[in-house]
């Protein structure tokens, strides 16, 4: 079976502006993470199945750590988006529940949403799924420190900025 | 099965551990220490630089699985490499704390099985870099055993 191209599934009741941009972090690039869309305080990503990302050679299922890495970076992106690119962020903590077994040779998608933002902490929830967002493979929840260090937030690239600047009504 | 062969066998069955370059070493006292070598691919923030939280979480999970598989082998009568499939645990959930920024250095990890069970087990794992008394991440994970 050949790998299928990444096509982000529709999220019921949620508007997503599509983008297609490789991750800007070295680790994200290493696993092949792609930013696929954004919405209100939300980032969507995709990841092509690859045999080097497998956790059990016998079953061909993605490693749990790959799912966690995907959730971590997607939620980091959502934190940067939700804070208007003003602050660097760093993960404080993260919990991932593996709800059902991932399917072998299947692409994975993730959406992360910042449900509460304070001056210092962004609280997120995230889901990772194959084709059906209502049947998540894993759900994640956790926190990011806002303004964690002096680095310039660089997780998200120009497609996000351009579309935000156009319709920036809350500047 | 010899314990070193068992650990090598489990590690070899995890392709993603190979992609990250994770290695495992058993010392004379029976302590299992895993190493995540520094590689540019593991960076999350290139400006600092700091390792990616997801890469560290992956390393914690791999180390926990190895340590748990070792102890499962002791209670589940493992004789051949084919039996390994019965002892490699599946994660139910993991909770990761990021305690300090992880710099451009190798990471080391040790895991402790808090509860060893035939169905579920709980493992605690820590990573450190240049100073073992200053962990950079910790994780508690709950795992289930595959049905044999």
The alpha-carbon radius of gyration of chain A (Å, integer) is 15
pLDDT by position in tens, chain B (length 148): 688 988 999 999 999 999 999 999 999 999 999 999 999 999 999 999 999 999 999 999 999 999 999 999 888 877 777 777 778 899 999 999 999 999 999 999 999 999 999 899 999 999 999 999 999 999 999 999 987 6
Q: Is residue A12 part of a domain?
A: no
Output the DSSP codes for B73-90: HHHHT--SGGGGGGT--E
Question: Residue B45: which CATH number?
Answer: 3.10.129.10
Total number of domains in chain A:
1
Q: Is residue A125 part of a domain?
A: yes
B106: containing domain: 3-144
Total number of domains in chain B:
1
Helix (H) or strand (E) holding A49: none
Nearest to B44 by CA among A98, A68, A100, A125: A68
The alpha-carbon radius of gyration of chain B (Å, integer) is 15
Q: Is residue A163 part of a domain?
A: no
A81: containing domain: 17-154
Q: Which residues of A touch B99 (CB under 8 A)?
A: none
B69 φ/ψ sector (left φ>0, alpha ψ -120 to 50, else beta)? alpha
Q: Which residues of A touch B60 (CB under 8 A)?
A: 65
Q: Is residue A136 part of a domain?
A: yes
The contacts of residue B144 (CB under 8 Å, 6+ apart) are B89, B90, B92, B119, B120
pTM flag (> 0.90): yes
Q: Does B94 touch chain A (CB under 8 A)?
A: yes
Q: Is residue A57 part of a domain?
A: yes
Question: Residue A130: which CATH number?
Answer: 3.10.129.10
Q: Does B14 touch chain A (CB under 8 A)?
A: yes
Residue A90 to residues A76, B84, B99, Cα–Cα distance (Å) = 7, 37, 11
């Amino acid at each position: 079976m050949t790998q299928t191209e990444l096509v982000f599934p529709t999220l019921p009741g949620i508007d997503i502006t599509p983008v297609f941009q490789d991750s800007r972090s070295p680790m994200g690039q290493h696993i092949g993470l792609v930013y696929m869309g954004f919405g209100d305080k939300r980032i969507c990503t995709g990841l092509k199945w690859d045999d080097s990302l497998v956790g059990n050679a016998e079953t061909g299922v993605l490693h749990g750590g790959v799912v966690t890495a995907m959730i971590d970076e997607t939620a980091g992106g959502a934190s940067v988006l939700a804070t208007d690119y003003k602050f660097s962020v760093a993960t404080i903590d993260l919990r991932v529940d593996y709800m059902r077994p991932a399917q072998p040779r299947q692409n994975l998608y993730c959406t992360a949403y910042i449900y509460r933002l304070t001056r210092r902490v962004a609280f997120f929830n995230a889901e990772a799924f194959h084709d059906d967002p209502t049947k998540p493979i894993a759900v994640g929840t956790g926190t990011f420190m806002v303004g964690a260090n002096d680095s310039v937030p660089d997780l998200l690239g120009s497609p996000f900025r351009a579309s935000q600047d156009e319709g920036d009504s809350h500047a | 099965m010899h314990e070193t062969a068992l650990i090598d066998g489990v590690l070899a069955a995890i392709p993603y551990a190979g992609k990250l370059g994770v290695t495992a070493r058993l010392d004379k006292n029976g302590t299992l220490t895993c190493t995540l070598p520094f590689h540019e691919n593991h960076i999350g923030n290139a400006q600092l630089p700091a390792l990616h939280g997801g890469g560290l979480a992956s390393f914690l999970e791999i180390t926990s699985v190895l340590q748990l598989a070792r102890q499962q082998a002791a209670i589940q009568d493992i004789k051949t490499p084919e039996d390994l499939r019965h002892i490699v645990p599946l994660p139910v959930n993991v909770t990761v704390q990021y305690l300090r920024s992880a710099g451009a250095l190798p990471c080391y990890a040790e895991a402790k099985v808090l509860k060893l069970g035939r169905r579920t087990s709980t493992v605690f794992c820590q990573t450190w870099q240049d100073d073992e008394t200053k962990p950079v991440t910790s994780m508690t994970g709950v795992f289930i055993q595959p049905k044999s």
